[in-house]
């Protein structure tokens, strides 16, 4: 069955002419057509668009110009701009908007013959942790369809877990790649801030946002990272460095490495079942020859509160462009201001409006110093504290999410609980370091994610460590009970 294969395996079979690119695209499109109604991963699937791209990929193969992922389909979070294909951010305010250009990541995928496979569901404008804030539909967790896949990149994560696509692209502002990867039992990797161009990603919190891959193995995620990362003059925050090198990912052993466990990430809020699995994984690391030390990073406890000043502040500014004039549908209203007001009132959902208001407040004269500036100071402190730890250790280990997948609707009335789900992931967005989540075991039949963090720019090292950890963990690549 083609859809069971890893991306690397599909790529090898295509290169060896055992499979054609069109055959691979059709297998995934057919599976989506048959089963996605039960999961709600995709907002848009354009069969002809995907098949066209598959045919172009096959031309590359036929000319001997293919790479390791040529012909491999990739699902895209619907906040990534796709030329000619609707891009909504799961918001009514962008319904019907068709970008006239490709995001850099999409352009690079096409150049490498990686096949775009439709647009996945998300929390509106990537604001959320459950994908329940989508204006259009629910997405269900492949391990238990009554449960959330996490968020905000829930559609992408569930798509990879449900074998609708071997790979997917997400975006991570406070954890939106790693947290849904954890809840869906797959690999999710947020590169160092600036290693992947954000050109064409609809901006949420520009100093925090980073695009990254989902896969069912670390190797697959690394291969996709190699395609989409690297210098890009169209994003001024993109670091002028080579793409993440996936070839370095295979080699290596864990013996002799040193890892830190920040005690602030193992606090009382951690679900006992999650704690047990993470501690078991840490024991495995010790057996593999990793020296594990306990550390304290006191500023971690301020992460969520600090994030909820900075992210809404940047969002309030970024989302000012949605006025009904330039993008998407337009509501009737009196004069220019009336049109803008009515469009925004009708187009944005509750969570997005709340954040625009909080962000506008935090940035307003008189409050800027008390909130925004103070938050930036905490951020600087956090960066210093993490840098100090990385002087002495190779990587940091923690849970990804404090709990496993929760029932859909279970946390709707508890916005604080939802926000606390990013407690362990937010620090990586604050200081830009790379982070990866992989499955380390199960609690009551639901996957538990292990988060690994490395110093900024140590992406290859992090992926190599993650690859070794994956091989050491018995449960890392177990599959959900899907049709
Ligand atoms: N859950 C966080 C939020 O709602 C992070 C979202 C994200 O990373 N895009 O802001």
Q: Decide: 201 and 173 in contact? Cβ < 8 Å.
A: no
Hey, whose CA ends up nearest to atom 5 of ligand 1? 174
Q: How far is the CA of 98 from the centre of ligand 1 (A)?
A: 24
Using 50, 70 and 90 to split pLDDT, how confident is the model at 252? confident
- Ligand 1 pocket mutation, candidates 129, 154, 180, criterion most atoms within 8 A of CB: 129
- Ligand 1 pocket mutation, candidates 78, 152, 172, criterion most atoms within 8 A of CB: 152
Distance CA 345, CA 333 (A): 11
Residues 6+ apart with CB under 8 A from 251: 464
Q: How far is the CA of 279 from the centre of ligand 1 (A)?
A: 26
The pair of three-digit structure tokens given for residue 437, joined into one six-digit string: 């989540």
- The burial of 448, by beta-carbon neighbours within 10 Å (0-12 exposed, 13-18 middle, 19 or more buried), is given as buried
Counting atoms of ligand 1 from 1, which one is nearest the CA of 204?
9
- Ligand 1 pocket mutation, candidates 80, 127, 351, criterion most atoms within 8 A of CB: 127
Is 250's pLDDT higher than 90?
Answer: no
Counting atoms of ligand 1 from 1, which one is nearest the CA of 355?
10
Pairing of strands 210-215, 167-172: antiparallel
Using 50, 70 and 90 to split pLDDT, how confident is the model at 462? very high
Using 50, 70 and 90 to split pLDDT, how confident is the model at 131? very high
Q: How far is the CA of 152 from the centre of ligand 1 (A)?
A: 6
Q: How far is the CA of 332 from the centre of ligand 1 (A)?
A: 32
Supply φ then ψ for residue 65, to 5 degrees. Answer: -110, 15
- The helices-and-strands tally (H runs, E runs) of the chain is 15, 11
pLDDT, tens digit, for every residue of 167-214? 999 999 999 999 999 999 999 999 999 999 999 999 999 999 999 999
Q: How far is the CA of 421 from the centre of ligand 1 (A)?
A: 10
Is 328's pLDDT higher than 80?
Answer: yes
Using 50, 70 and 90 to split pLDDT, how confident is the model at 476? confident
Q: Report residues whose beta carbon is within 6 angstroms of any ligand 1 atom.
A: 126-129, 152, 172-176, 204, 311, 422
Alpha helix locations (H) across 364-441? 374-390, 415-420, 426-431
- The burial of 278, by beta-carbon neighbours within 10 Å (0-12 exposed, 13-18 middle, 19 or more buried), is given as buried
Q: Which residue from 113, 116, 109, 110 is spatially nearest to 227, judged by alpha carbons?
A: 109
Hey, whose CA ends up nearest to atom 4 of ligand 1? 128
| Helix (H) / strand (E) containing 158 | helix 154-161
Task: Order the strands of the 435-443 sheet from edge to edge.
Answer: 42-44, 115-120, 73-77, 167-172, 210-215, 187-190, 435-443, 446-453, 395-399, 258-262, 291-295
Task: Label residues 297-326 b or e (16+ Cβ within 10 Å = b).
Answer: bebbebbbebbbbbbbbbbbbbbeebbbee
Counting atoms of ligand 1 from 1, which one is nearest the CA of 175?
8
pLDDT, tens digit, for every residue of 79-123? 999 999 999 999 999 999 999 999 999 999 999 999 999 999 999
Is 262's pLDDT higher than 80?
Answer: yes
| Helix (H) / strand (E) containing 346 | helix 335-347
Is 270's pLDDT higher than 90?
Answer: yes
Pairing of strands 115-120, 210-215: unpaired
Is 325's pLDDT higher than 80?
Answer: yes
Alpha helix locations (H) across 214-318? 218-228, 272-287, 303-318
By mean pLDDT, which of 80-89, 346-355, 392-401, 472-481 is the weakest?
472-481
Q: Which residues are catalytic?
A: 77, 152, 176
Distance CA 310, CA 359 (A): 8
Distance CA 164, CA 136 (A): 20
Is 235's pLDDT higher than 80?
Answer: yes
Whose tokens are 């991570």? That residue is: 172
Counting atoms of ligand 1 from 1, which one is nearest the CA of 153?
9
Query: In the Cβ-directed half-sphere of 48, how many Cα atoms lie within 13 Å?
Result: 2
Q: How far is the CA of 308 from the centre of ligand 1 (A)?
A: 9
Q: What is the mean pLDDT of residues 25-51?
A: 98
Hey, whose CA ends up nearest to atom 10 of ligand 1? 127
Is 249's pLDDT higher than 90?
Answer: no
Counting atoms of ligand 1 from 1, which one is nearest the CA of 177?
8
Using 50, 70 and 90 to split pLDDT, how confident is the model at 475? confident
Residues 6+ apart with CB under 8 A from 288: 253, 254, 255, 468, 472
């Amino acid at each position: 069955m083609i859809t069971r294969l890893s991306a690397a395996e599909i790529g090898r079979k295509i290169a060896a002419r055992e499979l054609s690119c069109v055959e691979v695209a059709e297998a995934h499109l057919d599976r989506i057509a048959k089963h996605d109604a039960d999961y709600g991963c995709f907002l848009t699937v354009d069969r002809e668009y995907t098949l066209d791209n598959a045919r172009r990929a096959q031309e590359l193969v036929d000319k001997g110009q293919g790479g390791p992922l040529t012909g491999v389909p990739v699902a895209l979070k619907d906040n990534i701009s796709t030329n000619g294909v609707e891009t909504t951010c799961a918001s009514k305010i962008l319904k019907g908007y068709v970008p006239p250009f490709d995001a850099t990541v999409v352009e690079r995928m096409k150049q490498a013959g990686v096949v775009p496979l439709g647009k996945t569901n998300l929390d509106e404008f990537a604001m959320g942790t459950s994908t329940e804030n989508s204006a259009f539909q629910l997405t269900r967790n492949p391990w238990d369809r009554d449960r959330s896949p996490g968020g905000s990149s829930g559609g992408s994560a569930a798509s990879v877990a449900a074998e609708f696509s071997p790979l997917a692209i997400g975006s991570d502002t406070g954890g939106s790649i790693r947290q849904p990867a954890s809840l869906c039992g797959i690999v999710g990797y947020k590169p160092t801030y600036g290693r992947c161009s954000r050109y064409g990603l609809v901006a949420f919190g520009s100093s925090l946002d980073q695009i990254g891959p989902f896969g069912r193995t670390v190797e697959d995620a690394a291969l996709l990272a190699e395609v989409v990362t690297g210098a890009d003059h169209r994003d001024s925050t993109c670091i002028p460095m080579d793409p993440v090198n996936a070839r370095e990912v295979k080699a290596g052993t864990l013996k002799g490495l040193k890892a830190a466990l920040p005690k602030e990430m193992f606090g009382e809020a951690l679900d006992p079942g999650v704690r047990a699995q993470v501690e078991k994984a840490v024991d495995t690391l010790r057996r593999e020859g990793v020296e594990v030390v306990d550390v304290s990073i006191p500023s971690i406890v301020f992460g969520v509160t600090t994030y909820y000043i900075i992210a809404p502040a940047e969002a309030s500014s970024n989302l000012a462009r949605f006025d009904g004039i330039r993008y998407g549908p337009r509501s009737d209203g009196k004069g220019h201001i009336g049109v803008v007001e009515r469009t925004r009132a009708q187009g944005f959902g509750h969570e997005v409006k709340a954040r625009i208001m909080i962000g506008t407040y935090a940035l307003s004269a008189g409050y800027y110093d008390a909130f925004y500036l103070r938050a930036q100071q905490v951020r600087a402190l956090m960066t210093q504290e993490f840098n100090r730890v990385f002087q002495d250790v190779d990587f940091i280990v923690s849970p990804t999410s404090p709990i496993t997948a929760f029932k859909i609707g279970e946390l709707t009335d508890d916005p604080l609980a939802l926000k606390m789900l990013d407690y362990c992931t937010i620090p990586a967005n604050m200081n830009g370091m790379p982070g990866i989540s992989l499955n380390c075991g199960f609690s009551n039949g639901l996957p538990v994610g292990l988060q690994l963090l490395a110093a900024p720019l140590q992406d290859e090292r992090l992926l190599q460590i993650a690859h070794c950890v994956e091989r050491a963990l018995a449960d890392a690549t177990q599959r959900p009970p899907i049709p």
